[in-house]
Chains A and B, each alone.
Chain A
């Protein structure tokens, strides 16, 4: 029993690394995040299923003469968001390896990319709003709902990033490392969801 680590007490790069190495199961926080992601993924699945349910009830799609969505920009932006997983991944790596500074900068890089993505996306959405409204018909409704739910997930991710940037600036603890790993996990999920959402959104033009 003396070999069992008191993991929550680990503070500073060395001990944190040791705990992370010795632990044989994922931390509780990671499990919690995994389950949260499972339930959120189901939510997206339900929304996308709704989209196609509505779609296959009519022959005309988009409904009511709404223009088909243009493909390029959303795909490019999505690529950008997915790419932000790379600095996320290396940030976790760096934190595990004990280089807190590197981890912080990588996280900042990811955050900037993600924030830019959200800004550009909102810009696109405002453009869409000029051409058709969510109240127009079922197509408009599910289109904007799907995108907005996705944006909300990105926004939550940004809040987590901000909190971690603040915490990591003051050194690393086991708790913060778990936080970083959870954040990375969350962003991989948001990236995957973004792909699913954008493919659904662009489906009429594909």
Chain B
């Protein structure tokens, strides 16, 4: 898009450019507080962990390609299986959705110039990176976790897992929880405070509702995980007793704490995907979402109800009937908000003017896979059925349909969708479609037969099986499917990587998008918007008069906030303009704080208490350094 720029505007843009500039080169990336750059860092880091988790998955599948294989010995298999789950859940999906997509897009969608706490944002990233490295030091040194991703005690207790693998697991998850909590707080405050004046809550894109719900869920779910992990480490490292019956402990305590976190976590994983779906669908159907308020409500409800169903993961531990029935009923109720959203997407597609370009294809794939996975989830809420299928491949099938199919597909669709915005270039449409079909077919070939195997009694987490069980054929098909699936993903990333250099120029708004981010340049400038945008509906980009007014404002220098690193803050619900905030600029403290924390965790792992205390001191110093400079002194 070429618009002739009046001279006054050019001067303003230059000034903003100068104010918001960060250091060049590597130093710039180390000290950045720009939410877009942090988003990109998150993207590549979590992509790396996706690759790691994917390689682990392929090793698992290769081991299971036939009966009595020995690609992996049992110990390695268990490490791969546990690292796969842990990596994918904690170091891939959540950082990818909240860290990469959330970070990059939330400020853009609400018309802000950065997150509410830019340096805390950087700190979250660096902590995440350190925690991931921490875990993988364990995995690569042969000390990966090996008690499964939910790490049940007493298997994870010192007596049955004497090596440091579980400590790597527990400490790295505690570590990354700090990052996730900070990220969630940041997202909530950003959404509440920094929305462009005029964007009252009922005009906020549904994408942001989803992320708001996720962030709240994280804030209340993570403490349960942290508690469990702290207790576990106290038991493992200092000989406390929480889980061992002989000393008055209880193994089921772990399961309760873990799943009080764990079930909300699965909705934390899926909600960003819902948010992405509700961004892509209106754009490609040229139609506003059907039942907008119901969808917003449903997104919040899912996050909320998710806290009441945890024991449906524990139907086989011998719960009292009444307890089990309550949790089954709660699990059924949670279907309703999912159903609302699902039919709202379908209705929007059917009654709109759908263009099945690559991003929408991924969303349609997502819808199909989500129904599959959701329906098997509902079956578990029939307690007798669960008691048969729990801990079999039926469960593995369920959660890969909902996690890989329903949570990762929209992430991939979102990568295509926002690729032009982030890079300024178009992806290759033909390859995009091909990569979708490869992945979609591969996914079904990989995960559908798992339903059958599960019903046929194949337990999960078995490093091998005998030829007499009759599971050989389906396992072979699954493994081949997994290779196909990997090929599909490879096609996605090759497409994007090649397009980064060769793609056609995209312009600001190649798809006729519905939300604000499409109004700025691709890639967006450091300050996102030269003018704080005017907003009067959730489909801000389709309100052409508002966008014209923005252009006039820029010419006249209204709402440009060009005195410093500034952005607008508004009231939480109605979004009336409340104050102008000076935002901190680049800082070297976040990576230093994260490093000091890594020191503390490493010393705890090594049980060097004195050194740990020293690192706590260092940490305090870095935190003080972090707060040395007040915004107005910038």
Query: How many interface contacts (CB-CB < 8 Å) are there between A and B?
Result: 149
Are B632 and A173 closer than 8 Å at their CB atoms? Answer: yes
B623: nearest chain-A partner, CB-CB: A159
- Judge whether A169 is part of the interface by a CB distance below 8 angstroms: no
Interface size class of B (residues with CB under 8 A): 35 or more
* Complex contacts, A174 vs chain B, CB 8 Å: 632
Q: B631 contacts which chain A residues (CB < 8 A)?
A: 8, 175
Tell me, yes or no, whether B239 is within 8 Å of chain A by CB: yes
CB–CB A145/B181 < 8 A? no
CB-based contact A39/B248 at 8 Å: no
Besides A32-B185, A42-B219, A141-B240, 17 other CB < 8 A contacts? A1-B577, A5-B580, A7-B581, A8-B581, A8-B632, A22-B579, A25-B570, A28-B581, A32-B117, A43-B223, A46-B226, A50-B253, A57-B250, A134-B234, A138-B248, A141-B249, A159-B620
Does B618 make an interface contact (CB < 8 A)? no
A101 to chain B, nearest CB (A): 20
- Give which listed residue, A31, A63, A135, contacts B240 with CB less than 8 A: A135
Chain A residues within an 8 Å CB radius of B320: none
Contact of B185 among A36, A54, A57 (CB under 8 A): A36
**Within 8 Å CB of A163, what residues of B?**
624, 627
**Smallest CB-CB separation from B630: which chain A residue?**
A175
* Chain B positions 548 through 583: 1 when the CB is less than 8 Å from some CB of chain A, otherwise 0: 000000000011000100101111100011111110
* Majority SS at the chain B contact face: helix
Which of B187-195, B202-210, B484-492, B605-613 lines the interface with chain A?
A: B187-195
Quick one: which of A140-174 are within 8 Å of B by CB? 140-142, 144-145, 149, 159, 163, 173-174
B residues within 8 A CB of A94? none
- On chain A, the number of residues with a Cβ less than 8 Å from chain B's Cβ atoms is 51
Q: A28 touching B117 by the CB < 8 A rule?
A: yes
Are B227 and A47 in touch, CB under 8 angstroms?
Answer: yes
B569: chain A residues at CB < 8 Å are: 25, 28
Question: Which listed residue, A1, A31, A42, touches B193 by the CB 8 Å rule?
Answer: A31
A-B residue pairs, 4 tightest by C-beta: A138-B248, A8-B582, A141-B240, A46-B227
Closest residue of chain A to B572 (Cβ to Cβ) is A25
- In angstroms, how far is the closest chain B Cβ from the Cβ of A27? 8
> Does B247 lie at the interface of the complex (its beta carbon under 8 Å from any beta carbon of A)?
yes
Interface string of A35-46 (1 = CB under 8 A from B): 110111011011
Residue of A nearest to B583 (CB): A8
- Neighbouring A residues of B627 by C-beta, 8 Å: 163
Residue of B whose beta carbon sits closest to that of A10: B632
- B226-260 interface (Cβ within 8 A of A): 226-227, 230-231, 234-235, 238-242, 247-250, 253, 256-257, 260
Q: Does B220 contact A (CB under 8 A)?
A: yes
The contact of B234 among A9, A63, A139, A141, by CB within 8 Å, is A141
14 pairs, CB–CB < 8 Å, chain A vs chain B: A4-B579, A4-B580, A6-B580, A28-B189, A32-B120, A35-B189, A39-B222, A40-B223, A43-B227, A134-B238, A134-B240, A136-B247, A138-B248, A145-B231
Q: How far is the CB of A65 from chain B (nearest CB, A)?
A: 12
Q: Report B-chain residues with C-beta under 8 Å of the C-beta of A64.
A: 248
* Contact A6–B566 (Cβ < 8 Å): yes
Docked complex Cα distance between A174 and B570 (Å): 17
> Closest Cβ of chain A: how far from B615's Cβ, in Å?
16
Interface string of B256-276 (1 = CB under 8 A from A): 110010000000000000000
